[in-house]
């Protein structure tokens, strides 16, 4: 367990994690009654049947980068064939008890690195989808945004029997599947301008829009030492999430990390506990 004095801007120490029930209770006690900003990651959606990126036992992932996606039709065919199958499965996922507990807790701001939209479906009101939402599609030409469901229907019509033929492919956390043979899949263009389509999510190689990041920084800054930043289900491997932990710790705001496995922010946390997201959030509620 990592323990720092709440509100102290001390130098980070070597991280130690704990799943001891007493340590979990201490973390819960710290959070109780405080204003909260919550940062959630893929680990929160595993209880909804969506695999995570870096949890215990998770296989290595190599997501397609933005630069690869725009490199030409072959990459776009490979991406959309996989994503078409993954979306067909992901859209049937339901919010779990952890999502519902967060909606009931109603933090000052819920920053999610997830693109599955389950926080919104659970009823959370103040949500920043840091990496966008896979339920929407954007044209890289005219920038028109359209519902993913409409594109899904177009792809079904252009590729009859495709989903049934590839039914055994393993689902991946990016909203796609593990599939090598994508030859023959027909990728539609933008219905308005004929441009290239992509999910309205932030790919590796893209930046999170600056106004989106600033809204999150403002919420973290407003916490002071009387609020707390809670991280659930994120390894904080990428800077898009870790920067908020660094911001809070530098300001002396208590940070609690609840995650299965070590995270990149453990040495900055007031408490870092090895516990399931749903278990921790329902106990906090």
User: Binding site: which residues?
Assistant: 139, 142, 190, 193
Q: Is 131 a catalytic residue?
A: yes
**From the candidates 84, 99, 119, 131, which is the catalytic residue?**
131
Q: Which position has the token pair 């609690």? A: 256
User: Binding site for Zn(2+): which residues?
Assistant: 139, 142, 190, 193
Residues labelled as active-site residues: 131
């Amino acid at each position: 367990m990592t323990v720092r004095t709440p509100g102290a801007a001390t130098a980070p120490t070597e991280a130690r994690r704990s799943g001891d029930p007493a340590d979990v209770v201490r973390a819960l006690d710290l959070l109780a009654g405080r204003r909260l900003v919550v940062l959630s990651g893929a680990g929160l959606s595993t209880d909804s049947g969506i695999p995570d990126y870096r949890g215990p036992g998770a296989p290595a992932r190599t997501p397609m980068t933005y630069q690869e996606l725009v490199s030409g039709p072959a990459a776009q065919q490979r991406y959309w064939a996989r994503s078409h199958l993954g979306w067909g499965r992901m859209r049937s996922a339901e919010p779990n008890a952890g999502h519902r507990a967060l909606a009931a807790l109603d933090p000052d701001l819920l920053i999610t690195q997830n693109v599955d939209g389950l926080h919104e479906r659970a009823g959370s009101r103040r949500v920043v989808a840091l990496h966008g939402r896979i339920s929407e599609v954007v044209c890289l030409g005219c920038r028109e945004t359209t519902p993913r469901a409409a594109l899904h229907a177009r792809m079904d019509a252009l590729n009859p029997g495709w989903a049934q033929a590839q039914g055994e492919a393993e689902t991946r956390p990016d909203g796609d599947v593990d599939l090598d043979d994508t030859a023959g899949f027909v990728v539609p263009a933008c219905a308005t301008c004929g441009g290239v389509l992509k999910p309205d999510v932030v790919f590796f190689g893209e930046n999170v829009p600056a106004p989106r990041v600033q809204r999150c920084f403002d919420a973290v800054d407003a916490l002071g030492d009387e609020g707390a930043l809670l991280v659930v289900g994120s390894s904080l491997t990428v800077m898009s999430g870790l920067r908020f932990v660094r911001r809070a710790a530098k300001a002396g705001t208590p940070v609690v990390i609840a995650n299965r496995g070590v995270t990149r922010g453990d040495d900055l946390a007031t408490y870092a506990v090895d516990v399931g997201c749903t278990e921790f959030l329902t106990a906090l509620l």
